[in-house]
Amino acid sequence: MINPMFNKLVIIGVGLIGGSFALALRQAGLVKQIVGIGRSQANMQRALDLGVIDEIAHHPALAMQDADAVLLAMPVGQTADIMAKIAPYLQPETVITDAGSTKQDVIAAARTYLDKHLKNFVPSHPIAGAEHSGVNAAQANLFHNKHLIITPLEETSDTALARVTALWQGCGAQVSEMQADEHDRLLAATSHLPHLLAFTFMNYLCTNIGNDPDQLLRFAGSGLRDFTRIAGSSPEMWHDICFSNRETLLTQIDAYQHTLSSLQKMLEDSNGPALKDLFSEAREARRNWFKDKI
């Protein structure tokens, strides 16, 4: 095993993401000791039994002692609260990263609570996940060849950036840098808005169609099945993401409705050529974007 770059890593929230981070870094030989903190003692004990972590910490003070790095991997809604709790105990050299799906709100919390440690904070978002959660679902290769977006602050030090990049690359992730607002706009477009629209479509079907569900189901094809698949996602998780990225999402809902209204008007005005052109552009765009994926 190569000489570990990190003697002590603290993971707050040892679930799918935090647990996979631990397993990957241990496998890569980058970390010597891994300490976990979490709400569910059953889950923490399981993490210990599985060898995902070496130790359970019950108070931030002890956990942060001599910590080289901290990963915030609890639900994004708890970020501000956790930062406030750990800030007093952070060491001058401890680097901090997170795994939140939205970045501007996490950065706002960091600016409020991390104070002089802000330079050591490197906001991150791994584009990886699974339908299962908890440490039992953790896997060493979860981030392997997956994208990881880092949205550094002006204040972020080169040292912190380099060390956190090394951690994620050690997990096998492909690290890209981006501005936080661009990240939130990009993810709103490719992930948050589609989820909201799929949930909306199912609500529309339930509330606006007179036929009973069985009737609808009988004649529904694979098109509807795939179009609504993401409406089967976790309401709690998507509630948090919608509010974490609220402003950006509201702007994009407006823009989408504007586009929908313009197609609607083409149909109202019986402007067939214009509608067919838009359909063709849409198909072309999708084929270009996904030609390697389908």
Interaction residues for a copy of itself, span 170-199 (CB under 8 A): 176, 182, 185-187, 189-191, 194-199
How far apart are CB 125 and a copy of itself at their closest, in Å? 9
How far apart are CB 256 and a copy of itself at their closest, in Å? 5
Own/partner long-range contacts of 154-163 (Cβ < 8 Å, ≥24 apart): 155/118, 155/119, 156/118, 156/119, 156/121, 156/122, 157/119, 157/120, 159/95, 160/95, 160/119, 160/120, 160/121, 160/122, 161/122, 163/5, 163/6, 163/68, 163/69, 163/95
Mode of pairing for the β-strands spanning 124-126 and 147-150: antiparallel
Please give the Cα distance from 25 to 32 (Å, whole number). Answer: 9
Query: Which residue's CB is nearer to a copy of itself, number 41 or number 176?
Result: 176
How many Å is the Cα radius of gyration of the chain? 22
Query: Which residue's CB is nearer to a copy of itself, number 66 or number 236?
Result: 236
Does residue 216 interact with a copy of itself by CB under 8 A? Answer: yes
Residue of the chain from 50, 127, 137, 175 that contacts a copy of itself (CB under 8 A): 127
Please give the Cα distance from 213 to 28 (Å, whole number). Answer: 51
How far apart are CB 203 and a copy of itself at their closest, in Å? 5
Structure-token pair, residue 113: 């609570």
How far apart are CB 137 and a copy of itself at their closest, in Å? 17
Q: Which amino acid is at 245?
A: N
| Residues 218-257 within binding reach of a copy of itself (CB under 8 A) | 218-221, 223-236, 238-239, 242-243, 246, 249-250, 252-257
Residue of the chain from 69, 149, 164, 171 that contacts a copy of itself (CB under 8 A): 149
Q: What is the DSSP letter of 15?
A: S
Q: Distances from the Cα of 62 to the Cαs of 10, 118, 199, in angstroms?
A: 10, 21, 43
Alpha helices, DSSP H, located in 213-245: 213-218, 222-227, 235-244
Query: Which residue's CB is nearer to a copy of itself, number 29 or number 272?
Result: 272
Name, in order, each residue with C-beta under 8 angstroms of 187's C-beta and a sequence gap of 6 or more: 101, 102, 125, 245
Does residue 145 interact with a copy of itself by CB under 8 A? Answer: no
Please give the Cα distance from 94 to 121 (Å, whole number). Answer: 9
Nearest to 25 by CA among 37, 39, 36: 36
Number of residues that bind a copy of itself (CB under 8 A): 89
Query: Which residue's CB is nearer to a copy of itself, number 39 or number 276?
Result: 276
Does residue 264 interact with a copy of itself by CB under 8 A? Answer: yes
Binding segment for a copy of itself among 16-24, 67-75, 102-110, 269-277 (CB under 8 A)? 269-277
Query: Which residue's CB is nearer to a copy of itself, number 117 or number 192?
Result: 192
How far apart are CB 222 and a copy of itself at their closest, in Å? 8
Beta strands of 188-235 (E only): which ranges? none
Residue of the chain from 29, 41, 147, 162 that contacts a copy of itself (CB under 8 A): 147
Query: Which residue's CB is nearer to a copy of itself, number 102 or number 120?
Result: 102
Query: Which residue's CB is nearer to a copy of itself, number 162 or number 260?
Result: 260
| Residues 86-105 within binding reach of a copy of itself (CB under 8 A) | none
Does residue 201 interact with a copy of itself by CB under 8 A? Answer: yes
Count Cβ atoms within 10 A of the Cβ of residue 236 and give its class: 0-12 exposed, 13-18 middle, 19 or more buried: exposed
Query: Which residue's CB is nearer to a copy of itself, number 162 or number 282?
Result: 282
